[in-house]
Each structure stands twice: as C-alpha cells, then as structure tokens.
Amino acid sequence: MIRKLSSHLLHWKLALLLFLKPLGFLGIGVLAAIDSSSLAIPMDLIIAGYVWSNRGYFWVYAIMGAAGSAVGALVPFYIGRTGGEWVLLRRIPQSKYDRMRARFDRHHWLAVLVPAAMPPPFPFKVFAFGAGVFEMRVLPYLGAVFLGRAVHYLVTAILVVYFGPEIMSWMGGHSFMALTLIAILVTVFLLYEIFRRRRKRRRENTAN
C-alpha cells in the first residue's frame, strides 16, 4: 500500500514538473509554494536545472523560488495558529518544544530565517508551524522566510553557475558539508546585517 502510494506521488510530481516547466520563472514560484506548503519537491535540483539552461537569470530563479516559498509557508503557519501547541507536541518531544519556544521568545525572526536557509532534510515546516503556534506576526514571518530561502537558493544557483549541475550530486553525497557551507554563509550575512544596522544607528545618533 505504501509502495503504491509512493509510486502515485512520484508520477504526480513528474506530471507537475512537466506542466509547470514551460511557465519559466512563474513555474519556479508555484513549485516552491507547493514545496513549502505541503508536498516535498526537490527544489535545489529544479533550480539547478533552470539555472544551467539560462545562467544569465540565475538570481531571478532564486528570488522567484524564495517568493514562492514565502507564500507557501503561510499554510503551515496558519495551521499552527489554528491547531494550537498540542499538535506540535504530538510531533516533537517536550524538551525540543521548550527550546523552540525559548528561541522564538528571544529572537523569533532568526528562529525562522535560519531554518529557512537550511537545505533538506532540515525540517523547516516544523519551524513554520511553530511560528504560527507562537503567534509571530505575519509580515516579519514572510520576510524571514523570503530572506532565508533567497540565501539558500542563491547559494545553489551560484554554485551551479560556477561548477555546473554536477555540484548538486556532490552536495547530495556530502549533505553535512553542504549544510555547514550554507550555515556559514547565513551567519556571515547576519553579522554583516547587524554591523550595518549598528553603523546606521550611530550615524543617526551623531546627526541628532
């Protein structure tokens, strides 16, 4: 039964890819929305294929993927808001739930941005669901998902541009190294953003 269901899902995914591929940029957004909302889709491989066929627009594919992911991520977010914390507790242990709540209470924006930047099989939907449970505001949530996914997809696109689509096979066999690479890039970006904001505040204080 499970094997038959998996086969049907595989055929459905292939049909979906064939249908949306001619849509170009819009197709990337739709697939990313489906991936973030419900059915897992290998977005890195799809974006790699699009980028390699049209490398001049690598950044557009990344941005469209990020935008689609942000829209699709509203589904687990609102399910979390309506379903309540008891649903989350059925999926994760109490200790992990407490750590997640503490993380959201301290810096809820980063608690979404960093998971959104992580590659599969990192459980981003759990954090999206948690953002709804812990009543994060919608606009900061969308911004965090968009920025995190944009970082992730831009890294994927740039690697494909410079090293070819074969880099995706290497990353698949070295998931820990790929995860570490993206985590480092996200950290560097966040440090830069913090430094930029502090410098801006100092200039405003000096001007006043």
Per-residue pLDDT of the chain (208 residues; tens, 9 = 90+): 334 434 444 444 555 555 556 666 788 888 899 899 988 888 888 888 888 888 888 899 999 999 999 999 999 999 888 877 777 777 778 888 888 788 777 777 778 888 888 877 778 888 898 888 888 899 999 999 998 899 888 888 888 888 877 766 666 655 545 655 666 566 666 666 776 777 777 777 776 6
For 39, 52, 160, the CA distances from 163, given in Å and listed in that order, are 29, 10, 5
Neighbours of 154 (CB within 10 A): 19
Encoded tokens for 51 = 């980028």
Cα–chain-centroid distance for residue 207?
39
Single pTM value for the model: 0.73
Distance of alpha carbon 34 from alpha carbon 107, whole angstroms: 27
Residue 147 · residue 112 · CB < 8 Å = no
Cα angle 130, 149, 9; round to 5? 75
Burial class (CB in 10 A: 0-12, 13-18, 19+), 110: middle
Residue 97 · residue 89 · CB < 8 Å = yes
Residue 154 · residue 67 · CB < 8 Å = no
Distance of alpha carbon 80 from alpha carbon 18, whole angstroms: 32
